[in-house]
Structures are given as structure tokens and as C-alpha cells.
Amino acid sequence: MQVQKAPNDNWWRGGVIYQIYPRSFADSNGDGIGDLPGITAHLDYVASLGVDGIWLSPFFKSPMKDFGYDISDYCAVDPMFGTLADFKALVDRAHALGLKVMIDQVLSHCADQHPWFVESRSSRDNPKADWFIWADAKEDGNPPNNWLSIFGGSAWQWDTRRCQYFMHNFLTSQPDLNFHNPEVQSALLETVKFWLDLGVDGYRLDTVNFYVHDAQLRDNPPRGRPVTEDPAVNAVNPYGWQWHKYDKSQPENLEFLRKLRTLLDQYPNTTMVGEIGDDDGLARLAEYTRGGDKLHMAYCFDLLGSEHSSSFLHKFLSRFQSISEGGWPCWALSNHDVPRYATRWGGATPDAALLKLSAAMQTSLRGSSCIYQGDELGLPEVAIAFEDLQDPYGITMWPEFKGRDGCRTPMPWVSSAPDLGFAPAGKAAGKPWLPVAEAHRALSVDAQDASPDSLLQFYRHLLHWRKTQPAILHGDMQLLAAHPQVFAFVRANDAQRVLCVFNFSDQPAHFVLPAECNVAQVLTDSGLTGAALSGGNVELVPWGGLFAQLT
């Protein structure tokens, strides 16, 4: 029997989502770790930005070896973040403010402390014996194939209980679930349903193309060590020296995504955004989001590197448009896994004009947008001393790769507070789990609230203005001809046509405007400023841009 679909208002389609990393957002009780009540207390700030929803990184019960991405109970809140009642209060407050709530679910793997894995590893014939990916050693005792862990070394860990290897794409304490087992899929879908019944509006799905592995366990083909000068490409990690043909992105993954979609379609106005890490992320994004029966939207890592020239952006978007076939992207410039884009794109002293230009470009592309907490403040990446590192990825790969802690430091709320207002005044007793950054003091929320020309005020102006532009929210996108400095395109629907022009260079740029341009919003230090246009040439200042109405 076909299940009746619930109505969906497509709020996410062209929407802006604000990612919150709970450990680092706001600490309500002064123990040094952010929590759910801390988030709830600051939701008014999030709503003031003009975003449509929030994405909460994991807050589930966990041994925290990968800071919540190793779940030991999919249906419980970890006590360090609060209680289930605290989560319900957060959802209620967000909804009262008009914000949707998406939660981060890790379905590809769990913690080795999860009862499922504890039972699975106990013997070869228990009821959950094949809920995880187990394999015998080769004749010489080596792992069954050449698959690698993203966090370094083999993707296989020997277990003396079963005298077999189990697979882990990440830490050895994060065993991968066996999606070839229908019982595993059913159990995971029940955990997804649990939070939908509590009122969440959708999911961010971690490593969404990692769910299914090649059942034959065939070796990945060699790729060779990357030759690159891009610091965002981790050439010291051998994971990138293979083509990942068999350990992820398998055809059977699509069938599970369809089951997920069928479940979400039973709940009104819900959505899913998937994280895609693949050798060809754009192709996978298109495949996973087209057709209306899998993910609603997805993001890959192409905009999460250092490259941001007009030629790169034009080539990247041209390719996506040629292969998307109706797929829907969610564009992100930063998240909790990569260095902050202020530093990646702007260097040691990022120009505020570049950050404003980048925000305007990101949120005017066809698709949805995700803003990582603190990017609206222009926070740079923080250099963390080795003795202060928390991220196991960085500890393993030190010193050439320092991990992800530099983008996860506490949110700066109050410039005058010793902990930058991470905990309320009078409660800041515990040392924050990562050091507060002195470089963030002048960029704190209260300091930027007081400055009409700040990046924070620009984000607010931009996102509220954007809501009044139907073509930018829902229109088609036509790229204009490639330009050595300027990235430009037109967004259009039946009601409006908007020309979007961005000078991605530190030099002035000449650009020929179409004759039908009349009114423009020009990016300036104080935000978007109206100006009359009559066609012809326009000179864009370094990192300058404009939006123009086309008649």
C-alpha cells in the first residue's frame, strides 16, 4: 500500500540554514562545554540574522571520542548537553521564533560502546553478528583489502573476540554498520522516526554516501599521492591516494536513501541535507538529489577548499549545471570539518570586503545555503597548540595537519569577558573545552552589534533583503560569460530578473552591464546601497559587487 505523502511547503528550497556546533556555541552552566540550554538562550540572536532554520551537530549520548559523531544511543541526549526536556524546549523556542530545527544524524557508523556493537563483537553467531562489517584475515594475517580510514591507517581493526577484522571509515572506535542487512536499515529508520515524532523539521545526514560498501570487499584502485599547493588538500593523508571505488558511494546506497525519503515524506514540511565526501562530489550531489525521491539537498566539498577565483567559480558552477538534472545543492563555505573560510579565502588578515562579497555570492546561487556559526562574524581560523588539541584527527596527523579544532573554538559573544561570554557572567568557572581566541575578541557579537558597518550587520541586511527577492529565492540561474576577474550570473523567474555580479579579485574590474539594467544594490562597507544604473560599463572596486534588476 502506498503511503500518503504529507504536505511540504518547501521552506528549505532557497532557504538559509545556520549550523550550530553545540560544544562551542554557548555554555549555560559554566562547565566549559556548550549545551542545549545555552543554544536556546541565544536563539533570538540566530533569528535576528534572517535565517530560516538551524542545524544542530550531534548532541546524542556518546563516549565523545569524536565529539558526538560516535553515537552510543541514537535516541538519548548526552548528559553533558542536557536532557530530552531541554531539547524539546529548544525546539519549541525555535519554532516560536519561526526557525526550523534540523539535527545531525550519523547513520553510517556508531560508537563501539553502542549495545549493537557490543553484542555483535561477542561472537560470530549472536543475533547481531552481521550488523557490522566483519571479515576474515588473509592467509598472511593482513586485513581483507586495502581500504583506508580517513583518520589514518587501515580501515580494518582486528578484534580478538571474533578473531576477525571489523571495518571503520573513521576511528577504530567507530565501527561501520552493515547496510546490506535489512534489519540494520530498519533499526536506523526507527531512530530517525523517533526525532521526527518529537517535532524536528529535518536532518543533516553525516557521510551520506558512506552507508553501503562493496559486498565483495574489492580493493580500491591506486590514485597516487596528490601533487598540490592547496593547503586545504590534505596530501599527507594516504586516504587521498586511492580512488574510492568500492568502500563507499555504492549503487545500493540509493535504495536506502529512497527509504529515508519515504519516511520523511510522511511528516509535513521536513527536509534532508546530505554531506557528500566523494572523488566526484558534484556528480554524487546531483545523483543523490535529483528525481524527488532521495535527498532534498546535499553539499560537497568543492567550495570548502582554498580556491575562489572567478574562473574557478565559473567552471565549477558550469559543470554542476550541466550534470545536475534538477538536483538541489546546499552551498556551504565553512563547517565544523574545515578551516574557516575567512582564513582559507582571505589569508592571515582577511579583507572584510571579501567576506561580504563571498556571503553575497553564496546566498544568491541557485540552491540553499548553510552558514557555520561565527562566519557571520568573520572569525578566522585559530592556531591551537599541540597540548590543547582535542581532535583525534589532528593529533594523529600532527604537525603537517592540525585537525579541526581551529574552527571549533568557543563562539565570542562578549568582547570584555575573559571567556568572551561563552558562559553567562558569574558561571564561567570551568575552562572552555577549547581555548578562546584573542583574535576573536574584537569580532565578538556585542562589538559588531554596536557597529553599523560590521560584517554581522551586513549579513543581517543581506539575508533580510534576500527574502524580498523572489528570483534569488526560487529562480533559475544563467551563468554569464567567463571573465578573468568577475563572476556573474542572472537569477530569474516569472516575477523578476536579477543580475548578480562579483569581483573576486583584489584589483578594480571593468564589467559591461546589460542595457536593461535599471536599479542596483551595490555592495559597500555599510551593506547594500541603492544606485541608479543606465547600462554601459561599471567599475567594480576590489572585492566589490552588485545586484541589478533587469527589465
The half-sphere exposure of 49 on its side-chain side, counting CA atoms within 13 A, is: 28
Which is it for strands 330-332 and 368-372: parallel, antiparallel or unpaired? Answer: parallel
Catalytic residue flag (residue 206) = yes
In sequence order, what are the residues at sequence separation of 6 or more whose Cβ sits closer than 8 angstroms to the Cβ of residue 500? 360, 361, 364, 472, 488, 489, 490, 491, 545, 547
Which position among 275, 287, 337, 405 bears the catalytic label? 275
Residue with cell 571593468: 510
Which residue out of 27, 35, 104, 206 is catalytically annotated? 206
- How far, in Å, CA of 185 to CA of 190, rounded? 9
Residue corresponding to grid cell 540574522? 49
Q: How far is CA 436 from CA 418, 457, 512, in A?
A: 9, 23, 46
- The grid coordinates of residue 431 equal 575552562
Contact 206, 295 (CB under 8 A): no
CA–CA distance, 59 with 21 (Å, rounded to integer): 9
Specify the DSSP class assigned to residue 14. T
Cα 404 to Cα 93, 345, 513, distances in angstroms: 30, 17, 42
| Contact (Cβ atoms closer than 8 angstroms) between residue 66 and residue 170 | yes
Residues annotated as catalytic (active site), given as ranges: 206, 275
